[in-house]
Chains A and B, each alone.
Chain A
Amino acid sequence: MSGARLELAGLGKSFRGLRAVHDVSFSVPAGAIHALIGPNGAGKTTIFNMIAGVHAPSAGTVSLDGQRISGLRPDHVCHAGVGRTFQIVRPFKGLSVLDNVTTGALHRRPRLAEARDAALAILERLGLADRRHQLAESLTLPDRKKLEVARALATEPKLLLLDEVMAGLRPTEVDVMVGFLRDLNAETGLTVLLIEHVMRAVMALAAQVVVVSYGEKIAEGTPAEITRHQAVLDVYLGAEEVA
C-alpha cells in the first residue's frame, strides 16, 4: 500500500440548475493528509461523491496519479484505489463486524479465507477484533465509525476519503482515531483527504486545509494560516463561535 496523488481540476456540479459545487481545484500530493472544511451545505460531501464516482461532475475532472477517474462507477473508482467512508455511517447492519470488513477485503483477495485474515488484521489495528462476531447494527456510534474506516481500508486504497469520521466521538476517542490515522499514514504512505468539523483533528492531522463555502473554494493553506484567514473567519470559524 502506498499513496497516490489526487488532483481536482475545475470541478463543478449542478443538480437541476442548483449549483452545488463550482470550479473547485486543488491537489493532495501522494502520502499527504489534507482536510476539506466549510460550513454545512458548502458542497464538501458533493465533492467527495464526485471523487468516489457517486456523482459524475458537470464540469472538470478528478484524477488519481494522473489517471482520470471522474465519470467512473463507484466500484471502478474503488478498484482504481479510492476508499471512502460515509458521513452517515452505512454498515452492512445484518452482517457481523468481521463479515463487513471481509466484504471490502474480497475486492483484492477473491479467496474468502485470505480476505477474512486480512480483515481480521485491520480489525485488530482498529481495536475492533473483540467485537468481530457482533452484528454491525449492535455497535455503538464510535465503533460504527471505526468499522466504516476498517471496511474502506480493507479495499487497500491509495487514497482514503474520510467524511466526518470524528463527529460524535468524545475528545479522547478523537485522539485515538487521530493517532491511528497518523500511524497508518506514516507506515503506508496512504494519501488521506478528510472532511471534518472537529478542528482538534484537523489541526493535528492536516498539512493543508482547503476551505469551501457555497460550493466554491475560498481559501487554502496550512491550519495555522487558515485560522488567521479573514474570509474563513467570516464564513466558518466565526459562525461556529456564535453557535
Chain B
Amino acid sequence: MSRTFLGMPGIPHGTGDLGGEEPFPRSAARHLADHQMRANLAGATGTIRAKRASVVSELPDWEQLRESGRAVKEATMARLDEHLVELERRVTERGGTVHWARDATEANRIVTDLVRATGAEEVVKVKSMATQEIGLNEALEEAGVTAWETDLAELIVQLGDDRPSHILVPAIHRNRAEIRRIFLETMPGVDPGLTDDPRQLAMAARAYLRQRFLRARVAVSGANFAVAETGTLAVVESEGNGRMCLTLPDTLITVMGIEKTVPTWRDLEVFLQTLPRSSTGERMNPYTSTWTGVTPGDGPREFHLVLLDNGRTAALADPTGRQALHCIRCSACLNVCPVYERTGGHAYGSVYPGPIGAVLSPQLTGVAANPSLPYASTLCGACYEVCPVAIDIPSILVELRNQQVESGRKPSAERAAFGAVAQLMSRPRLWRSAQRLTRLGRLLARGRATLPAALPPPLSRWTRTRDLPAPPRETFTERWARERGDRA
C-alpha cells in the first residue's frame, strides 16, 4: 500500500497570514503584469545573488558548514521536546517568563494581555516573521495598542499600507522613487525636499523613529535562535533598530517559533557564519544581539518568551516535509528563484513567499488550505543549491503534490488522464499504439513544422505563447526497428 503522509491525527494545523484565497497561477498572472515590480525585483535579486556568491566563495569550508547546519537542525528536531523544556528552565532561571501558544490566536492573546498589563498604548517592534504570521499588529490594534514597525523595510510596508513580499526585505518590490513618495505622503514632519537617495531615505526613517524608541516602554521581537543549554536568545539585524528595541524599553516580549531552538551555544558558530552570507551577502551583519533572561542594570527589567507552535508540530510529523522547519529565514532561496523573481512575493498569499514559502505555508496550514503553492515551482533546484541548511525544497514540493493528489482533491479529469498514461507507459505495445496516435497531430499541422496556435485546452495554455512542433513522421523506436531490425 502507498505510504503517503496525510497528517497525523490530533496535531492541528496553524492559522494566520499563511495563504491567500486566490490560487497561485491566478494571483501570479496578476502580479506578472506589474512591470515596475518586476523591474525592481530583477534588479534587487540580481544584486544580492552576486553578493552572496562572492562572500560564500570566500569560505573554503562552506559545504562543511552547510552540512553541519543541516545536521544540527535535524538533531534538534529529533529531541525538540527536551530542548524546549531545557530552554524554558534556563530562561526562567535567569528571570524571564516563558509562555506557550498552540496557535496564532493564543499567541496574540498572550502578547496582548502582557502589553495591557504594562499599561502601554504602543509597542516598538523588531522585524519578526513569527509575529507577521500570527497577525499580531492587527490583534494589538484591536486591543487599542499601536505597533510601530522599526525595520526600514517593514516601516515602508506599514506606512504604505502594503503587504510584505520578501522574508528579509519586505519592501523589496518597491524602488527608491516609490519609497520617497510613500515617505512624503505618510511620514509626519518629513522634509519636503527629501530626495530618493537611499541614504537620505534612511536618515528620514532614523529621525522618524528616534523619539519612538526613546519613549517606548514595551518592545516586541522575534528571535533568530534560542540556545537551549543556556537560555540565550539571538536577534540578527543590520540597522540598530533591533538593539534599540532589545535594550531601551522596560518590557521585552519575544515571539518565537519552537523550531528556532538550537541545543548548544557552540551551534551558533555555524549559523552566525552561514546566515549573514546567505541573506544580505555580508561576511557578518552589522549587529547581532544575544541576551539571557534579564540582566540587572542593562536592558529590560521584564522579559517574556512566547513559544509558538501554530502548525509547526504538524509539519514535524511529516517525514519528508519536516526539514522545512530547519529554515533559518535567510531568504537566499527567494533571491535565486526564477518564479519568485517574476511573480514577486505577494503572489504567494502568505507571509512566507518564494520556494521556502511554497513548502512551509502548506505544511503549517495543511495542504488543503494552500493547494496551489506546491505547484508554484519548475523544480529547477536553484533553491536547494543555495540553502545554507540544505533543505531539499524540490523533494518537499513533489511530496506535497503527492499529498494533494492522494487527498482526492485533484480534478478527476487530470487524475484519469495521468492514470491512463501510466497504464499505457507500463504496457509497451499499447504505448507504441498511443505514440502512433499522436501523429494525428500532423493532420492539424497541414505540412507545416508546427501545429496551429488555436488548440483546445490544456494545449492552448502551451500554444498561447509557444509553438508546438508537429509530431514527427516516425518515432525513434519505429525507425530503429525498421532500419536495424531490432524488435521495437
A-B complex is real: no
Chain A positions near chain B (C-beta within 8 angstroms): none
